[in-house]
Amino acid sequence: MTTEVGSDTDVKKEPEKVPEVQQQTDQPDEPADSAASASADQPQEESQSAEAKSDQEASPSPEPSSPPAAGGQKKEKGISRFLPPWLKRQKSQSQDKPDESSAPPKQESVEVVKEEQEETNQPKEEVDGGGAVTTSTEQTEEVKEVREESRAEELQPEEKEREEEKSIGSADTQPVREEKEDESEMEEKEEEKKEEEKKEEGKKEEEKKEEGKKEEEKKEEGKKEEEKKEGKKEEEQVIQQEASVLSTLKVNKKMKMVVCHVTLLDGSQFSCEVEKRAKGQYLFFQVCDHLNLLEKDYFGLSFKDNAEQRCWLDVTKEIKRQIRNSQWQFVFSVKFYPPDPSQLTEDITRYLLCLQLRQDIASGRLPCSFVTHALLGSYTLQGELGDHDPEEHRLDYISDFQFAPNQTKELEEKVVELHKSHRGMTPAQADAQFLENAKKLSMYGVDLHHAKDSEGVDIMLGVCSNGLLIYKDRLRINRFAWPKILKISYKRSNFYIKIRPGEAEQFESTVGFKLPNHRAAKRVWKVCVEHHTFFRLVSPEQPTKTKFLTLGSKFRYSGRTQAQTRQASSLIDRPAPAFQRTSSKRISRSLDGAPVVNVSDYSQADGAGENSPALELNSDSKSQQVEVMERPNADAATSITSETAFETDGAGAPQRKSKLRVQGENIYVRHSNLMLEDLDKTQEDVLKHQASISELKRSFMEATPEPRPSQWDKHLTGSPATTLRLQTHGVPQNTPPRPGTDSRDASKSAEVKPEGNEVIEVVEETVVIEEVVKAKPKSSTPEASVPVETEVKEERSLSSDSESEDEAEYHAQPPSTSISTQQIKEEPEEEQEAELSQQAPPSAIESQPSAEAADPGPAAEEEKAAQPHEEERTDKPLLTPDEAPNGHAPQGEAPPSPQTAAADEEEPHIVNGSASRVETEHLPQVICCSEPPVVKTEMVTISDTFAAQKTEISTKEVPIVHTETKTITYEAAQLDGNGDGEPGVLMTAQTITSESLCTTTTTHITKTLKGGQSETRIEKRIVITGDSDIDHDQALAQAIKEAKEQHPDMSVTRVVVHKETELAEDED
């Protein structure tokens, strides 16, 4: 705690220093508009501080003070900043692009900050506390990295680092550092990885030395802070001193050693001294060496985090960062249960698996019938004791073994009876028999996580080698095999899987589950990613190597897959190692020890559920803190409504990088090609990706010839960031065969959060973005030919939490209509199909409504052109927003004229542009009026738990608060060829509400059939809730940008800004 206090003070100090630092760091990376950045600086600070607060869960008190001050400024800037960031993009950016590509996509300094924070949050939340605090060095590291590229020498960066540090004042800059920490972390880690790997190969000692001063310095600092957290006063003092002296003293502190305690499968303890900065790998290998285990890929180390949750130690990352303040206490256990243990090469591996399963069984994690308990127990006896010896083996000889959670005399008798029948069986044979039977158990290798379905009903998510299983009580109510899963993602405490449409279904659906908290959601996600990779892929996907990557969670399983490990183990050429069985070591101990281990292990599986409450506190606390802080600010009652109508091209949207990050977070796309990781890819890689993407498209599109590749190519070839984008986007867009119809259920269950945010939330901003989707050439999907209107309504409350942004993804896919209800969808699908067959010319870019038929080639050109245009656009919108804020334009609809004009100009270039026109006019009114201030929305999770049943529920509660409300609507001036006025035939209508701690997103997807053309209209309502602490303008801009990016095929036809401010009365 002492440390945290320190950090708090740092936070306060930061505002002053932060801007400088950021600018320094940002400049290289972010070509973004100066204006935006300038305006953004404060927001950054604020957000940072807020983030920092949220991150530092333990230290709420000091922080609150800082944000309010900043908040006041924000408000003033408020609307002016609204759309600016993305709208403002100027051509200069395009020039800068190369840089951007290399660097993480940062359009807006603000965005960058947020995202970075997000990233930082994740690691912290996930694993460790260290991250938040560690920093002074890291910040500089980022800069370093940038420079490194150019210079490629570490020394120089170091120097710079130091210089910077000095200038900045090392300790004070913490918050800033935090932000960058993510990046730096990633980068660091990668670097470290390489280095460490080398080192590991060599000698460990050397390793440390080799790391070099700079790393050490960084590490040292990190350590110092971490150490502080640990509460080791001795070190703290030293560290603090060092911190003050920083650069000079760092060197001295290398190589601190820590003793790790590892509980092995037989219950024994293994202790091992590791360097404090060592990665998990080191420890893991130590343990495996100790065990003489070669087939180690099935195993892992786990630890308990602060919330007593079992977490797997990521071997590629520093131990310290993961365990945070927790003890250096680990458990060695089976991570991937081989479906067929007989294919394991070595008996010792099987034996270890047996030990794990005995634990699983004794703890009840692996349920068995009586007979099975008896049978497996008898093999255990045979394996451990050999043949039954009537002389030596009385009944009590087995009392030391635990065969079942509730071991009865009857069971023991049965075990003995069966044991007698195994006479002559060798231990290895007994183990093999044990495994042959255990593997058949339905819960074998199923990693269970508590969750809730759409109705708040407790369910269990079971991750196993085959896929994801859904249980209610002991009943399996659904199953999603890996091949059926297109994408895995999590946002906040929600976990989503995107399902490949079945034979009869033509649309993807997304199923959401509510986990007890964010960490639990991420944990499930990680486990899924790992299991999928391990069991389903031949080789792991390449981890992201981008140094500047800011994407959310880049986590990927980087170990060997089962296929690889099998191959590797087939090469094992050593005499079967002799190993001691527990019985020979200590008969009674082996199983006795197990229970202890079980607890920890069990927690892994169940941890999410059981421990969740504790976890919740952590994750939720953030939001709470933030909110609390916000309140005071909220008092200032300012109501500003600005509506902005603008058109967005699909093409333009994709190129925004900021979005990429958002999507990137937490999303795991099944197909390696589509993975987000490849920022660094070279052109060749990009091309490969493209090829793979096109394959995907083909597969998805059933016989539909490839849509114009040109656009894809362009995107792909563009800056790395662009590539990413495509990859992320590509999946959603391409995957849905008939995009128009797909709607996803991002449903969420009521959040468990104790906070009761609803009442607390003071200021809300609602951004309604209507997008008209034109058949996009990009979307290879057949629907492209069909003009589709999509209204996207997003309700989003921006919280400090970056992760909220993830939602965008789901909504992003306009085509995807979540069909949890198959029945509903069926009709529309058929219709679409017909259309598709006619209209789906492979190469043709179909924007029927627009009548712009762009050839692939031209399209590409257009895209290029589009960017500049977009930038232009952004500028224009800026103008309007500025006006609005200044005037605090009352509810009147702001004349869209400037925007419109811009839009018109742009349109020609934009492929989709024409489509956008169509819908624009209609939308505004509908959207504007429709939404009352939404304070909070109950979350409902729609899950397909029953294949046959689907439930959507959304409830909105409007708290009674005195508020001022102003609404401004901007509409795109463009006229619709189709005319919205046409009633059309309603094909489908869906409402999806999703909510996370601070975010409420409501998406209405309406599909109508007009004159033979299907329109998809997506209305997104984004509720941004918070005080002045939150930069609403920025948030709004971000939201709009995201919406655009999410639905590149669509155009934004209307933006309604509804600002509600709680009146002074509420100030208490």
Per CB under 8 A, 370 contacts another protein: yes
Smaller CB separation from another protein, 83 or 368? 368
Per CB under 8 A, the list member of 245, 251, 371, 958 interacting with another protein is: 371
Amino acid identity of residue 444, one-letter, is Y
Per CB under 8 A, 948 contacts another protein: yes
Instruction: Return the HEC string of 702-718.
Output: CCCCCCCHHHHHHHHHC
Smaller CB separation from another protein, 328 or 444? 444
Per CB under 8 A, 457 contacts another protein: no
According to DSSP H, which parts of 735-855 are helical? 757-760, 807-812, 822-839
Smallest separation (angstroms) from another protein to the CB of 512: 18
| Rounded distance between C-alpha atoms, residue 1023 and residue 1043, angstroms | 13
Per CB under 8 A, the list member of 206, 473, 695, 702 interacting with another protein is: 473
Per CB under 8 A, 578 contacts another protein: no
Secondary structure (3-state) at 684: helix
Residue 770: which of 744, 743, 788 has the closest Cα?
788
Find the Cα–Cα–Cα–Cα dihedral 86, 87, 91, 95, rounded to 10°.
Answer: 0
| Rounded distance between C-alpha atoms, residue 141 and residue 205, angstroms | 24
Smaller CB separation from another protein, 110 or 469? 469
Per CB under 8 A, the list member of 246, 294, 307, 441 interacting with another protein is: 441
Per CB under 8 A, the list member of 292, 327, 369, 580 interacting with another protein is: 369
Per CB under 8 A, 475 contacts another protein: yes
Per CB under 8 A, the list member of 103, 133, 319, 374 interacting with another protein is: 374
Smaller CB separation from another protein, 456 or 841? 456
| Rounded distance between C-alpha atoms, residue 1004 and residue 1018, angstroms | 5
Per CB under 8 A, 486 contacts another protein: no
| Rounded distance between C-alpha atoms, residue 350 and residue 353, angstroms | 5
Smaller CB separation from another protein, 26 or 505? 505
Query: Residue 840 — φ and ψ, nearest 5°?
Result: -85, 70
Span near another protein by CB under 8 A; candidates 231-239, 429-437, 514-522, 837-845 = 429-437
Smallest separation (angstroms) from another protein to the CB of 943: 14
Smallest separation (angstroms) from another protein to the CB of 506: 15
Per CB under 8 A, 433 contacts another protein: yes
Smallest separation (angstroms) from another protein to the CB of 418: 7
Per CB under 8 A, the list member of 25, 372, 642, 663 interacting with another protein is: 372
Smallest separation (angstroms) from another protein to the CB of 476: 4
| Rounded distance between C-alpha atoms, residue 286 and residue 927, angstroms | 61
- Contact (Cβ atoms closer than 8 angstroms) between residue 722 and residue 97: no
What is the 3-state composition of the chain as percent helix, strand, coil, each rounded to the nearest 5?
55, 15, 35
Per CB under 8 A, 472 contacts another protein: yes
Smaller CB separation from another protein, 241 or 949? 949
Per CB under 8 A, the list member of 23, 268, 437, 925 interacting with another protein is: 437
Per CB under 8 A, the list member of 169, 212, 367, 868 interacting with another protein is: 367
- Contact (Cβ atoms closer than 8 angstroms) between residue 946 and residue 477: yes
Query: Residue 917 — φ and ψ, nearest 5°?
Result: -55, -45
| Rounded distance between C-alpha atoms, residue 1013 and residue 788, angstroms | 7
Per CB under 8 A, 926 contacts another protein: no
Smaller CB separation from another protein, 11 or 415? 415
- What is the H or E stretch that residue 312 is in? strand 310-312
Per CB under 8 A, 456 contacts another protein: no
Smaller CB separation from another protein, 947 or 958? 947
For the packed helices 2-29 and 136-151, what is the interaxial angle rounded to 10 degrees? Answer: 20
Span near another protein by CB under 8 A; candidates 478-486, 509-517, 922-930, 998-1006 = 478-486
Query: Is the alpha carbon torsion for 572, 576, 577, 579 positive or negative?
Result: positive
Smallest separation (angstroms) from another protein to the CB of 846: 33
Per CB under 8 A, 421 contacts another protein: yes
Stretch 316-345 residues interacting with another protein (CB under 8 A): none
Smaller CB separation from another protein, 368 or 1057? 368
Per CB under 8 A, 502 contacts another protein: yes
Per CB under 8 A, the list member of 268, 325, 478, 564 interacting with another protein is: 478
Secondary structure (DSSP) of 222-282: HHHHHHHHHT-HHHHHHHHHHHHHTHHHHGGG---EEEEEEE-TTS-EEEEEEETT-BHHH
Smallest separation (angstroms) from another protein to the CB of 1002: 30
What lies within 8 Å, CB to CB, of 1034 at 6+ separation is: 39, 40, 43, 81, 85, 108, 110, 111
Span near another protein by CB under 8 A; candidates 154-162, 325-333, 437-445, 632-640 = 437-445
Q: How many residues does the chain have?
A: 1068
Angle 596-600-604 from CA coordinates, rounded to 5°: 150
Span near another protein by CB under 8 A; candidates 60-68, 371-379, 734-742, 868-876 = 371-379
Tell me the C-alpha to C-alpha distance, in Å, between residue 902 and each of 199, 459, 574, 641, 812: 57, 51, 73, 22, 24
Query: Total number of residues binding another protein (CB under 8 A)?
Result: 33
Per CB under 8 A, 479 contacts another protein: yes
Span near another protein by CB under 8 A; candidates 115-123, 153-161, 471-479, 545-553 = 471-479
Per CB under 8 A, the list member of 166, 203, 209, 476 interacting with another protein is: 476
| Rounded distance between C-alpha atoms, residue 826 and residue 674, angstroms | 28
Span near another protein by CB under 8 A; candidates 231-239, 254-262, 485-493, 943-951 = 943-951
Per CB under 8 A, the list member of 442, 843, 891, 965 interacting with another protein is: 442
Span near another protein by CB under 8 A; candidates 433-441, 673-681, 895-903, 922-930 = 433-441
Strand partners, 742: 816
Per CB under 8 A, the list member of 270, 285, 579, 946 interacting with another protein is: 946
In 47-129 the beta strands, taken as DSSP E runs, fall at none
Smaller CB separation from another protein, 670 or 729? 670
Smallest separation (angstroms) from another protein to the CB of 398: 17
Per CB under 8 A, the list member of 396, 474, 573, 684 interacting with another protein is: 474
Counting runs of H as helices and runs of E as strands, what totals does the chain give? 37, 22
Tell me the C-alpha to C-alpha distance, in Å, between residue 955 and each of 747, 749, 990: 11, 10, 14
Contact positions toward another protein, by CB under 8 A?
A: 367-372, 374-375, 418, 421, 433, 436-437, 440-442, 466, 472-479, 481, 484, 502, 504, 946-949
